[in-house]
Amino acid sequence: MMFTIIVFLSVIGVFAGLTFHRFWTTREEAGATILYAELLKKYAAWLALRTIQTARKASPKAWWDYVKALSLWRLPDLEKWLFVGFYGSFAYLAASGFFFAIFVPRGLYGFPLVGHVMAGGLFAACLAVIVIFKGRNFISVPKPVNLSLALLDPRKMGITAARVKFAAFWLFVLAGFLLALSALVPMLPLLPTAGQKLMFELHRYTALASALAATVYVDLEARSARRS
């Protein structure tokens, strides 16, 4: 139950954060007021409008066109299939994992569980390859810092969309590592029941972190791609 609540709260939080960021950076009316209540009202109106617009545009055909237009299909074969495997396995892992964790009291079982385990292996393998060959693209170069109280000021931390995207990537990779670890270790004759419980919880919450990081990354990546 606690996990379900945390999932819902964090999904709402990330959604609100991303949409507000989009509202803040793209809408002129966002800068027209300094009153929080007024700002919130404008944000809510914009969000409602965008929801209706998106809903009107959404259709299976529109989705299919969107998928077909992804740059993924234009990649070289090896890379293309690497990413297909990676995205596909992650999508299945997230869908099966969260659906069963939230809506099925028994949890993940049966053939979906077998599929989850198999997809987990594929995901880990793809992630490892991606980190080896693409990770270098996500190394930002922070300047050396000096000891100062300014370090605690968010406005001076240099938080940019690009840096958040990089952080989301590495958070995703870290979560992927913990997911693989928390799937592997319970299969080995190492942990007693308490350790198994710990690994189970770690797997769930890391999966949540992974899904949220992926969402942030994809959103920011999609926007930067659209801009460019």
Partner 1 sequence: MSRAGRFALGALGLALAVFALAPAGSTATAGQDAKKAVWDGNRTTPAHLIPLRDENDQPIIPTETNPLPYSSRFTCGPCHDYKTIQGGWHFGAMTATKSGRPGEPWIQLDPKTGTVLPLSYRKWAGTFDPRALGLTAWDFTMLFGRHLPGGGPAEPSDEEVLAHPEARWSVSGKAEVNCLACHNKSGRQDHSEWAKQVLRENLRWAATAAGGVGEVGGMASRLKETWDVYDGPNLDDHEWAVVPSVKYSTSNFDSKHRYFFDLNYQPADDRCLACHSVSAKDEPRMNTDPDVHSTAGLKCADCHRNDLGHVIIRGYEGEAAETGNRTAESFTCRGCHLGENEVGEKSVVPGRLGAPFPKHTGIPLIHFKRLACTVCHSGPKPKEGFTRVRTSLANRLGIYGVATWATDMPAVIEPVYAKSAGHKIAPNRLVWPAFWAKMSGEEVAPLQPEVVDAAAGDILKPEDRIAQALVALSQVMAEDEIPVLVSGKFVFAPNVDGGIDSAERPGAKADTPAFWGIRKGSDILPLIPDFDPAAADKDPAVETRFLEFLQALGTVPGAPGQPVIAVKKTLYKLVDGVLDMSDAPAELAGAAGPGWLAEGKFAPLGSDFDIRTVTAKAGTEQTLTEEQVALVLAALAKSGEKSDFVYISGGRMFRLDKNGKLAAGAHPAAQPVTWPLAHNVRPAQQSLGWNGCTDCHSGGSDFFFTKLRGTGPLLTANVEKRSAASFMGLGGIFQRFFGLSFITRPLFKVVLAVCAFVIGSLVFLAGLLALGRLAGFLEKRAEP
162: contact with partner 1 by CB under 8 A = no
Q: Which is nearer to partner 1, 71 or 193 (CB)?
A: 193
Distance, in Å, from the CA atom of 216 to the CA atom of 166, rounded to the nearest integer, reads 10
Q: DSSP labels for 9-42?
A: HHHHHHHHHHHHHHHHHH-GGGGS---HHHHHHH
Q: Which of 82, 94, 168, 180 binds partner 1 (CB under 8 A)?
A: 180
7, 93, 119, 124: which one contacts partner 1 (CB under 8 A)?
124
Distance set, CA 104 to CA 7, 65, 98, 113 (Å): 15, 33, 10, 13
Q: Shortest gap between Cβ of 47 and partner 1 (angstroms)?
A: 34
Question: Amino acid letter at 34?
Answer: I
Does residue 184 interact with partner 1 by CB under 8 A? yes
Site map (CB under 8 A) of partner 1, residues 8-37, x = contact: ------------------------------
* Calpha distance 94→88 (Å, rounded): 10
Q: Is residue 202 a contact point for partner 1 (CB under 8 A)? A: no
The nearer residue to partner 1, 84 or 174, going by C-beta atoms, is 174
CA-to-CA distance for 190 and 143, rounded, in angstroms? 42
Part in contact with partner 1 (CB under 8 A); list of ranges 25-33, 64-72, 126-134, 152-160: 126-134
Q: How many residues bind partner 1 (CB under 8 A)?
A: 43
Q: How far apart are CA 112 and CA 19, in angstroms?
A: 33
Beta carbons of 85 and 124 less than 8 angstroms apart: no
Judged by CB under 8 A, the residue of 18, 75, 128, 202 near partner 1 is 128
Query: With binding defined as CB under 8 A, does residue 125 bind partner 1?
Result: yes
Structure token pair of residue 212: 């949220």
Q: By C-alpha distance, which of 124, 126, 117 is closest to 97?
A: 117
Q: CB of residue 38 vs partner 1: minimum separation in angstroms?
A: 39
Judged by CB under 8 A, does residue 60 bind partner 1? no
Q: Pick out residues in 131-150 that bind partner 1 (CB under 8 A).
A: 131-132, 135, 138-145
Other Cβ atoms within 10 Å of 207 Cβ, number: 22
Residues forming contacts to partner 1 in the complex (CB under 8 A) are: 107, 109-111, 114, 117, 120-121, 124-125, 127-128, 131-132, 135, 138-145, 170, 173-174, 176-177, 180-181, 183-184, 186-193, 196-197, 200
